[in-house]
Amino acid sequence: KQLKNITILPGDGIGPEVIAQAEKSIQAIAYRYNHDFSLDYAFIGAHAIEETGSPFPEETLRKCRKADAILLGAIGDPKYDEKFESDLRPEQGLLALRKQLQLYANIRPIKVYDNLTHLSPLKEKRIKNVNFVIYRELTGGIYYGKKGRYENGKIAYDHCVYSESEIKRIAILAFEAAMDRRKKLCLVDKANVLETSRLWRSVVKEVAKKYPDVETSFLYIDNAAMQMMNSPAQFDIILTTNLFGDILSDEASIIPGSLGLLPSASIGRNSCLFEPVHGSFPQAAGKDIANPMGAILSVAMMFRHFEMEQEALEVERAVDLCMKEGIMTKDLEVEVHYSCSQLGDLIYSII
Amino acid sequence: KQLKNITILPGDGIGPEVIAQAEKSIQAIAYRYNHDFSLDYAFIGAHAIEETGSPFPEETLRKCRKADAILLGAIGDPKYDEKFESDLRPEQGLLALRKQLQLYANIRPIKVYDNLTHLSPLKEKRIKNVNFVIYRELTGGIYYGKKGRYENGKIAYDHCVYSESEIKRIAILAFEAAMDRRKKLCLVDKANVLETSRLWRSVVKEVAKKYPDVETSFLYIDNAAMQMMNSPAQFDIILTTNLFGDILSDEASIIPGSLGLLPSASIGRNSCLFEPVHGSFPQAAGKDIANPMGAILSVAMMFRHFEMEQEALEVERAVDLCMKEGIMTKDLEVEVHYSCSQLGDLIYSII
Ligand SMILES: CC(C)[C@H](C(=O)O)[C@@H](O)C(=O)O
Ligand SMILES: CC(C)[C@H](C(=O)O)[C@@H](O)C(=O)O
């Protein structure tokens, strides 16, 4: 019996509520498969600022470092919205977490549920068979380059920097993933304008040689932003930079018709983090109406990362069953809806 | 009788064909309103590389500088697609043109034609009443910052730089445009991560004070990429940076269901350029099947810029009439379609 240490960062807004449901799935699997999961809790985001004065306290970093996996709820509080001068913003916690644990690959699967297609802004026939995964670089690029001002603050700059090794490590992950899927990989860049994109292209072409079975293609980000809406079913694995990935993965998240169902994983060499794609959604906090499926499916991604494939499938099947039966939270616009905690309980009992 | 000098850059692929139709509209208006337009021609893009060895020859620059307006077809040839090392690429011509003439604002109106909504990937009800204009900064940001390599080419960088004055001049244009429309302006940036975005936000807030009637809002680019698909009708004027504008305006262009109908203007202090949004579409070149409406509507934008409002409306009405009657090119998937030159002739005779 193997012990897995999971550090839980409930975070802000609806974070703690959806995480509570995700924990129920962890317990159900532990019980059913006789696994041993040890859960430990830590602060992050606005909640952490209030409790400790820092959006990413030392103790949280320590607890994350020793964990086999981190489960995050959501980060963000409107109270800090326009406080750009300050380092004390919830998002700083997220950016510090990614950097310090070197979570270099953010992975977002996009799949469509047949009985939710009416919620998608895209026409039904366009989103048929959509099933792709975005690999977004998460610890480099313009997010982490030097930034500042000169000439009395009248000129601002942000430096975008990428190294061969930063590109290579995520490219390898993405090609490996393609091998397990439909063997298609598309690099999204802006190589007709950016030098960093030209480096991305040459490194990816180099890595591609080791994966002759993978059909590799290239799209400029402007074209990709169009294609993703025009014919999203063409994609299998999308590989891209931090900034382009931020944009594309949010754009992609409208395809299934609901943010609430989307899980994500962020992978580093020694750490990995799982979190729903949706934000802290403060308007819904404390009302037991949030959709816990994104968090629950993030738990499935965590099990898969633990190489507990059976357990991952179990969780995914339970979610699929609810979706098929129309057992959903209010955000999915069903006539009879269930609360966040009811869904968590139901998934628990299905497993 | 006032003389207007127009420099015509037919460019590559379908460029020359659609420009030939646009010229017919110019002639029709000249005749009907007794205007005097003097047309002069120059090379740009792949065509210019072949003829002169440069994608943006000195003579073209000279002819553009002395023109009252520039009309561009399209730029790009697949032959240069992966030649990123070379400065001899067609796009370099476009980037040089923008920079040298200081065409700092790219303006793209997005409107939906009622009888084309079936072509949009978005559901009909989502695109009802869509009518917005994107103001994209066109001569600054990461496009034109320092770029290069170090450590033997293993590290690449691109610098993004913006100054107060660069932001202010396009912000004023955008607010002025908002005053003539529904008085809503949304700045799209990434102020939670980028210093340049924070400068954008503060300059735009400053300019906004002079326009108290305009409702000003702010969206992060990732959120904007979602909102644009989820509820595009919410937008009136979108103001954004060079890179975000490149992405957003291409994404927006899928809303009407066809790139072929979209015009654009690029405005500088002393120069202005008009061009269809579509590319050089080499597969269609020489077949007389390209859609000339984007080029023709660019001519309407040119007339409006000349303060020939009546003339602009005349051209737009002729296009609207064709659209209503289903008189369209093949790309719009109509059963009976017309050729590029037939449409040009028809618009000529309607005017
Ligand atoms: C909150 C913000 C800094 C963050 C990002 O841009 O990476 C978010 O949009 C995300 O995608 O996780
Ligand atoms: C060809 C390319 C350099 C150009 C750009 O990125 O600006 C194009 O995409 C555009 O939008 O006009």
Rounded CA-CA distance A77/B192 in Å is 13
Q: Mention every residue, 6+ apart, whose C-beta is less than 8 A from residue B298.
A: B22, B71, B263, B264, B265, B274, B275, B276
Indicate which residue's Cα is closest to atom 8 of ligand 2.
B246
B246 as an active site residue: the answer is yes
Q: Please name the residue of chain A whose CA is at the shortest distance from the CA of residue B227.
A: A251
Distance from CA of A252 to the nearest CA of B (A): 8
Give the pair of three-digit tokens for residue A313. 């499938």
Q: Does A230 touch chain B (CB under 8 A)?
A: yes
Q: Does B321 touch chain A (CB under 8 A)?
A: no
Query: How many residues in chain B?
Result: 351
Rounded CA-CA distance A175/B328 in Å is 43
Average pLDDT over residues B87-108: 92
Q: Is the Cβ atom of A251 under 6 angstroms away from ligand 1?
A: no
Q: Residue by residue, what is the 3-state secondary structure of chain A?
A: CCEEEEEEEEECCCHHHHHHHHHHHHHHHHHHHCCEEEEEECCCHHHHHHHHCCCCCHHHHHHHHCCCEEEEEECCCHHHCCCCCCCCCHHHHHHHHHHHCCEEEEEEEEECCHHHHHHCCECHHHHCCCEEEEEEECCCHHHCCCEEEECCCCEEEEEEEEEHHHHHHHHHHHHHHHHCCCCEEEEEECCCCCHHHHHHHHHHHHHHCCCCCCEEEEEEHHHHHHHHHHCHHHCCEEEECHHHHHHHHHHHCCCCCCHHHCEEEEEECCCEEEEECCCCCHHHCCCCCCCCHHHHHHHHHHHHHCCCHHHHHHHHHHHHHHHHHCCCCHHHCCCCCCCHHHHHHHHHHHC
For the CA of A76, the closest atom of ligand 1 is 1
H-only helix segments in chain B: 15-33, 45-52, 58-65, 90-100, 124-127, 164-179, 195-208, 221-230, 242-252, 293-305, 309-324, 340-350
The whole-number pLDDT of residue A2 equals 78
pLDDT tens per residue across span A86-112: 778 888 889 999 999 999 999 999 999
Rounded CA-CA distance A172/A25 in Å is 31
Residue B205 pLDDT class (50, 70, 90 cuts): very high
Indicate which residue's Cα is closest to atom 12 of ligand 1.
A246
Average pLDDT over residues A320-341: 92
Chain B residues touching A199 at Cβ < 8 A: 149, 153, 155-156
Query: How many residue contacts between A and B have a Cβ separation below 8 Å?
Result: 163
A246 as an active site residue: the answer is yes
* pLDDT mean across residues, chain A: 95
* pLDDT mean across residues, chain B: 95
- Known binding residue A108? Answer is yes
Q: Mention every residue, 6+ apart, whose C-beta is less than 8 A from residue B114.
A: none
Residue A81 pLDDT class (50, 70, 90 cuts): confident
Average pLDDT over residues A46-50: 93
A331 as an active site residue: the answer is no
Q: Mention every residue, 6+ apart, whose C-beta is less than 8 A from residue A257.
A: A112, A113, A116, A117, A118, A119, A120, A121
Lowest mean pLDDT among A83-92, A119-128, A238-247: A83-92
Share of residues in chain B with pLDDT > 90 (%): 91
Residue A254 to residue B160, Cβ atoms within 8 A = no
The whole-number pLDDT of residue A300 equals 98
Q: Does B122 touch chain A (CB under 8 A)?
A: yes
The whole-number pLDDT of residue B41 equals 97
The whole-number pLDDT of residue A223 equals 95
pTM (2 d.p.): 0.96
Residue B171 pLDDT class (50, 70, 90 cuts): very high
Distance from CA of A306 to the nearest CA of B (A): 31
Give the pair of three-digit tokens for residue A233. 């079913």
For the CA of A220, the closest atom of ligand 2 is 9
DSSP state of B122: B
pLDDT tens per residue across span B221-250: 999 999 999 999 999 999 999 999 999 999
Q: Does A156 touch chain B (CB under 8 A)?
A: yes
The whole-number pLDDT of residue A82 equals 78
Q: Are strands B3-11 and A215-220 parallel, antiparallel or unpaired?
A: unpaired
Could you write out the DSSP letters of every residue in B293-308? Answer: HHHHHHHHHHHHHTT-
The whole-number pLDDT of residue B2 equals 78
Average pLDDT over residues A307-314: 97
Q: Does A190 touch chain B (CB under 8 A)?
A: yes
Rounded CA-CA distance B247/A299 in Å is 33
pLDDT tens per residue across span B9-33: 999 999 999 999 999 999 999 999 9
Q: Please name the residue of chain A whose CA is at the shortest distance from the CA of residue B122.
A: A122
Average pLDDT over residues B83-93: 81
Amino acid found at B77: D
Domains delineated in chain B? 1-101+271-351 (3.40.718.10), 112-260 (3.40.718.10)
Question: Apex CA B39: angle with CA B36 and CA B45, to 5°?
Answer: 155
The whole-number pLDDT of residue A88 equals 83
Residue A162 to residue B143, Cβ atoms within 8 A = no
- Res. A1: pLDDT tops 80: no
Average pLDDT over residues A116-134: 95
Q: Is the Cβ atom of B34 under 6 angstroms away from ligand 1?
A: no
Q: Which of A222, A287, A320, A324 is catalytic?
A: A222
Query: How many residues in chain A?
Result: 351
Chain B residues touching A162 at Cβ < 8 A: 155-157
Rounded CA-CA distance A216/A185 in Å is 5
The whole-number pLDDT of residue A89 equals 87
Rounded CA-CA distance B20/B64 in Å is 19
Residue from B83, B122, B142, B198 whose CB has the most chain A CBs within 10 Å, to mutate: B142
Residue B154 to residue A147, Cβ atoms within 8 A = no
Q: Which of A40, A81, A250, A320 is catalytic?
A: A250
pLDDT tens per residue across span A187-228: 999 999 999 999 999 999 999 999 999 999 999 999 999 999
